[in-house]
Each structure stands twice: as C-alpha cells, then as structure tokens.
Amino acid sequence: MRAAAPVWTAGNGCQPGRHGNLGGLSLSGIQMKSVINRVRHGLAAALFLLPSLAMAQYHETSEGQAFIQDMVEQFGFEASRVESLLAEAERKESILDAISRPAEKTLEWHQYREIFMRQERIEQGVEFLQQYREAFERAEAEYGVPAEVIAAIIGVETWYGRYKGKHRVLDALATLAFDYPPRSRFFRSELAQYLLMTREQGFDPEELIGSYAGAMGYGQFISSSYRHYAVDFDDDGVADILNNPVDAIGSVANYFRAHHWQPGEPVAEQVRNVLPEDSPLLTRELKPGLTVNDYRQAGLAPDEGMDDDAKARAVRLAGAGGPELWLTYHNFYVITRYNHSHLYAMAVFQLANALGEKAGQSEQQNGVGSNT
C-alpha cells in the first residue's frame, strides 16, 4: 500500500498540535486533530480489510468461476455444490511454504537416507509385512512386485500408515490450484480429480486429510492416481487406501505393474567410483538411456549377469563416507514414477532390501518356511 502523505512535518516550521498546512489551507489545531483522526481511522479500516482482500474466497475469483463452470459442463456437478466447496476451502500459507522446499531438493543423499533407514522403521516394516502377510503374498503373486518393495513405498510415504498428513485435502488442492502459479494448471486438474474421486467413492470432500500436496492414504496417492490405480483388494465394494491397508497394498502393487515393473529384474547396484565429474555417462534424465556395455567400456564392473544391452543410468550420490556411484536400471526408473527423484527411489530400494533381509532373518528364527 502506498503511504499517505503526512498532514504535517516537523521540517515545515509547524509545531504539532498548533498549525499545519494541507493543500495550501491553514488549519486550526482542532481542525488538524480532526483530519489526523480521520486519516488514522481510514488507515485502520484499510489495514483491517487487507487480510480479507488477500484471502478472497476462491469461488469469487475469475479462476474459481471458470473451474465451477468446467465441473458443471464436463462432469455434471451442480454449480452450487462446487461453489460451496470453494467457498469452504482455506488458503494455507504453510502449504505454499512446504511445496517450495521439498526434502528431495534440499538434502544430500546421506541426510535423506538417515530419515528412512532408521532401525525403528525397518523393524516396524517387518511387523507390517508379517501382519498383512496374506495381502502381500497375494499382491506379489498377482502383480509381480516384491512384497518388500510395496512395504518400502508405504514405509517411506507414511511410516506404514502412522503419518498420513495433517492438511485438509480440499485446502491443499485449492491453495495450490489458485495461489501457486508455477503448477496451478496441474493442481486445478487434481482438484477436479479429487471431487470426482470423492463422488465415486462416497467420501466427504471436506473431511479427508493428506499431505501438503493433497496426497492421501497409506501410499499417498494424489487424486488422479487414486482414480486410476486404487483397487478394492479385499472385495468390500470400496477402494479405500485411506484407512484400509489391504487396499493400499494392492493399489501400490497395481501402480507399479501399470508403470511396467519387470518381475525378477534388478533395481540398482553400487559400483566403483571411477567416472570423472564431467563424464557424459553421468546423465541428468531419470530414465536410463545408455547401456550396461557403455559403462563396462568406461571401466565400471556391473554384475556379470547383466546383459550388455540392458538399459542403465549412472548416478553419483553424496554418501556419509564420500561419493557413491550407482548403476540404476529400469525398475529403479519405475520407482521414480511414484516420486520423480533418484533420492526417493534409492531410499525405497535400500529400505526394501533391509526389510527383505530382516524379514528373512525373522522367519529363520521362527522356523517359518523351513523343512524341519
């Protein structure tokens, strides 16, 4: 706001409370006091209105009106229903702050790894695998995705359902749809998908809680992913990944199969760090575009069982003990379809390995699967 011009200044030869000059007119002390009081009251009123101006309800904006019209014309919603939901949605500054600094973009690998490779998370992951053994075994059989990979996704996303988010999904999606220009188009689409999903599943759109980006449930599906990949894995008539871990297990497995997970194929392996910093073999794209043979020719030694023509990508990470060089393969890329970050995919990969190893040890100790 532009500041109002002062009624008087100490530099103009006038004494406060005596005489001043406003627009060339001389004012008495009483008149001056009256003018000052009016200005003060006007400023106070303006300042009082600022929050409401900044927090204009989304249904009153041109973008909000266009969204309402689209939901009516394209999906058959009642205009009054969509308008009332946008009127109910609240702008959250905390959501805008959170999306501007995701951990994948602010932490080095060794810092990021410490978050997820905690002993407690591993032990609770094994408990989760054991508790829902039948669902995990069925998911692995039907979708071809290892149980420990499914569990690792849920472990990284929500610590096996313990932390599913703290933001109302309606607020998160509306805030990002209308107050986050860099990705407003994407989040308006997700808001539309959210209203469709809640209508289809019979959920109250004003009640669901999720992440700052509007992701929901055990596996933190965004609305479009929920509609495309969530499955009713326990056949109770509802695909509920919000509160039903069995549906969540099947849904994560379905997501991976849809993104072409290759059963039995490797994910990644650490190799000797021999590539120079400026090596063209250190590519930026998440999708592997070179071959195992390209890296063998450069002096790396991938597993002997890897075919020369298998697609691969080298990534160097800042480990706790120094730089680490990893060769990542197609299934690693599939994990990045869940979250477009190689740090995220590496955390899932290493947690899955830890869960598989720990679960195997536990089964041996308990005599599960032994012939004796």
Q: At what angle do helices 342-366 and 109-116 cross, to 10 degrees?
A: 40
pLDDT digits (tens, 9 = 90+) for 202-245: 999 999 999 999 999 999 999 999 999 999 999 999 999 999 99
Mean pLDDT of 144-161: 98
User: Which residues neighbour 218 within 8 Å (Cβ) at sequence distance 6 or greater?
Assistant: 154, 157, 158, 160, 161, 164, 241, 242, 245, 248, 249, 252
**pLDDT value at 173 more than 90:** yes
Give strand pairing partners of 209.
168
Q: Is 326 helix (H, G, I), strand (E, B) or coil?
A: strand
- Which residue reads 């990542």 in tokens? 328
User: Does residue 357 have an active-site annotation?
Assistant: no
Q: At what angle do helices 119-131 and 147-158 cross, to 10 degrees?
A: 130
Would you call 298 exposed, middle or buried from its count of C-beta atoms within 10 A (0-12, 13-18, 19+)?
middle
Distance between CA atoms of residues 163 and 156, nearest Å: 10
Give pLDDT, residue 367. 63
pLDDT digits (tens, 9 = 90+) for 295-336: 999 999 999 999 999 999 999 999 999 999 999 999 999 999
In DSSP notation, 15-71 reads PTTT-EEETTEEE-HHHHHHHHHHHHHHHHHHHHHHHHHHT--GGGSHHHHHHHHHH
pLDDT band at 106; cut points 50, 70, 90 = confident
> Which one of 140, 148, 157, 190 is the catalytic residue?
157
In the chain, % of residues over pLDDT 90:
79
Q: What is the pTM of this model?
A: 0.82
pLDDT digits (tens, 9 = 90+) for 72-95: 999 999 999 999 999 999 999 999
Give pLDDT, residue 102. 78
User: Which residues neighbour 328 within 8 Å (Cβ) at sequence distance 6 or greater?
Assistant: 267, 268, 288, 312, 313, 314, 315, 342, 345
Distance between CA atoms of residues 331 and 338, nearest Å: 12
Task: Give CA torsion, residues 314, 320, 323, 329, to 10 deg.
Answer: -10
Give pLDDT, residue 369. 52
Helix (H) or strand (E) holding 210: strand 209-210
- Which residue reads 């200005």 in tokens? 39
pLDDT digits (tens, 9 = 90+) for 110-149: 999 999 999 999 999 999 999 999 999 999 999 999 999 9
Instruction: Classify each residue of 303-322 as buried b or exposed e, where b means 16 or more C-beta atoms within 10 Å of its C-beta.
Output: eeebeeebbbbbbebebeee
